[in-house]
Amino acid sequence: MDEKHNDSTFSERRASRPYSIIVVGAGIGGLAIGLCMRKTGHDVRILERRHEITEVGAGIQIPPNASRILRRFGVLGEVMKYATVLERNSLRRWKDDEELGSVPLVPDIEENFGAPLAVIHRADLQRILLDAAIDCGCKILEDHEVVDIDKKFLPLTPSSVRRLLVRSRGVKTWMSADVILAADGMNSIVRRKMAIASGHDDQLVPAGELAYRFLLPREAIEHDEKAMALLSKNHGMRYMGPGGHIMAYPLRNNTLYNVVLVRKAESEQLQKITWTTRAKKEDIIKYYRGWCPIIHALISHVPGSGALETPMNNMPPLPTWVKGHIALAGDACHYMLPYVAQGAANALEDAGTLAMAFTCTDRIELALELYQFIRKHRSEWIQASATSNGYTLHLPDGEEQRRRDDSIRAANIGSGTNPDKWNDKKTREFMWHVDVMAETVNEFESLAREAGLKKT
């Protein structure tokens, strides 16, 4: 498929019938959905519970399956002004810094997948999507927290009004729309209410691991030769060790160094699911004491306030993402561990699929069922791959770890598969080459029949 030739084909498509749409959540997924739905002709309101739309966190990856969607909706050019294109990814041992393999990314990725792979600060991507959503006419409503769904419309019927109970500045009011798309994160209130109505037990399952995230500004490390050597190169660095791994790369034109350290969680940390916890610097130093000197150098620059600490959770596959005219999207329905770097990308796939589905039919139920049909199995497969990859990356030293390392070395010279799924050619093909927007448009009729749906 000629991606460049097809970009205008997708970006110029318009909704079969414009609808009023409420998007719940103004994170990356919610803003992308709002932008894509508005660009295809719908009236869009995006509700955000926070008083101000800001983003914490650090770097995220934009793989080809995400960048081609950003390009089709007119924002990739702006994204690439702030993004870093990594030239290669280095896979290394935790203790002695031995390089097990080096995977080239430039020009291989764009040549093979028709779209670039980049990394960007999460806040930059969110700001770009927010500005684009506002510019194209989305209404952004901050301090609007969804607290309930009108239960008399669960299950919803085609003729019912879709209503949400929303609290703003302490006052509760009902808001209605033709379609409600909930991208309100892994602790989604909409998912919880849908689960209650369906008799489904909605529970996140602690993964037993947590991540530390921190950013090192150039001025903080300019006197550290080892750290500056990493900052100056557009390389991804993956360190694998017993019970954890580390991923690091430069951001913002090599002025920030992004570091993510993943480790086994202690029992008292398993039930936390908030982004606001900060880990003490001394605790991080203690856990990674046996790792190689370059890791010590990076951790030594953690600010005195500590690093963001994020416990990892698993989300068991949901029985459904759709209830009448309400659909879940992003982390609300397929929160995944970050070990194949597909969380944000899959939220963007949701946005592109939803937008295209509503250009294929004016039936809301059909469009949402088609969206679920295209996206659910694929995202669950990637979820499972991420969980499996965590096991592979975190092997304790021993025979299984030695077989893993030998396989990485062999894959580096073109022999066999790479056990690190992010670097494995076959897994990359599935994650990055599949074009959900093209699939939705080109195979609408056959997919609708396969899903047991009728167009009329």
- Per residue in 92-114, pLDDT (tens digit) is 999 999 999 999 999 999 999 99
What are the residue ranges of CATH 3.50.50.60 in the chain?
A: 3-84+116-203+318-395+422-450
Query: Mean of the pLDDT values across residues 430-449?
Result: 92
Instruction: Tell me, yes or no, if 88 is annotated catalytic.
Output: no
> What is the residue-averaged pLDDT of the chain?
91
Query: Of 213, 238, 363, 378, which residue is the catalytic one?
Result: 213
What are the residue ranges of CATH 3.30.9.30 in the chain?
A: 205-314
pLDDT band at 5 (very low <50, low <70, confident <90, very high): very low
Amino acid at 79: V
Residue 33 has pLDDT above 80, yes or no: yes
Q: Topology of 3-84+116-203+318-395+422-450 in CATH?
A: FAD/NAD(P)-binding domain (3.50.50)
Q: What is the pLDDT of residue 42?
A: 98
Is the overall model pTM greater than 0.85, yes or no?
A: yes
Please give the Cα distance from 222 to 451 (Å, whole number). Answer: 57
pLDDT-above-70 percentage for the chain = 93
Query: Mean of the pLDDT values across residues 325-337?
Result: 96
Residue 11 has pLDDT above 80, yes or no: yes
Query: Mean of the pLDDT values across residues 176-205?
Result: 90
Please give the Cα distance from 17 to 188 (Å, whole number). Answer: 28
Residue owning tokens 């969980």: 387
Most confident of 144-153, 391-400, 442-451: 391-400
3-state SS of the chain?
CCHHHHHHHHHCCCCCCCCEEEEECCCHHHHHHHHHHHHCCCEEEEECCCCCCCCCCCEEEECHHHHHHHHHCCCHHHHHHHCECCCEEEEEECCCCCEEEEEECCCHHHHHHCCCCEEEEHHHHHHHHHHHHHHCCCEEECCCEEEEECHHHCCCCCCCCEEEEEEECCEEEEEEECEEEECCCCCCHHHHHHHHHHCCCCCCEEEEEEEEEEEEEHHHHCCCHHHHHHHCCCEEEEEEECCEEEEEEEECCCCEEEEEEEEECCHHHCCCCCCCCEECHHHHHHHCCCCCHHHHHHHHCCCCCCEEEEEEEECCCCCCCEECCEEECCHHHHCCCHHHCCHHHHHHHHHHHHHHHHHHCCCHHHHHHHHHHHHHHHHHHHHHHHHHHHHHHCCCCCHHHHHHHHHHHHHHCCCCCCCCHHHCHHHHHHHHHCCHHHHHHHCHHHHHHHCCCCCC
Most confident of 80-84, 274-278, 415-419: 80-84
Residue 155 has pLDDT above 90, yes or no: no
Tell me the β-bridge partners of 235.
88
Please give the Cα distance from 288 to 388 (Å, whole number). Answer: 23
Q: What is the pLDDT of residue 454?
A: 58
pLDDT band at 327 (very low <50, low <70, confident <90, very high): very high
Q: Topology of 205-314 in CATH?
A: D-Amino Acid Oxidase; Chain A, domain 2 (3.30.9)
Q: What is the pLDDT of residue 154?
A: 52
Q: What is the pLDDT of residue 140?
A: 97
Amino acid at 72: R
- For residues 141 and 49, the answer to whether their CB atoms sit within 8 Å is no
Higher pLDDT, 303 or 257: 257
Please give the Cα distance from 427 to 430 (Å, whole number). Answer: 5
| Tokens encoding 82 | 């702030």
pLDDT band at 456 (very low <50, low <70, confident <90, very high): very low
pLDDT band at 451 (very low <50, low <70, confident <90, very high): confident
Please give the Cα distance from 288 to 295 (Å, whole number). Answer: 8
- For residues 330 and 29, the answer to whether their CB atoms sit within 8 Å is yes
pLDDT band at 6 (very low <50, low <70, confident <90, very high): low
- The radius of gyration of the chain's CA atoms, rounded to the nearest angstrom, is 22
Residue 157 has pLDDT above 70, yes or no: no
Q: What is the pLDDT of residue 276?
A: 61
pLDDT-above-90 percentage for the chain = 79
- Per residue in 233-284, pLDDT (tens digit) is 999 999 999 999 999 999 999 999 999 999 998 765 555 555 568 899 999 9
- 341's torsion region: left (phi>0), alpha (psi -120 to 50) or beta? left
- For residues 286 and 266, the answer to whether their CB atoms sit within 8 Å is no
Please give the Cα distance from 123 to 451 (Å, whole number). Answer: 38
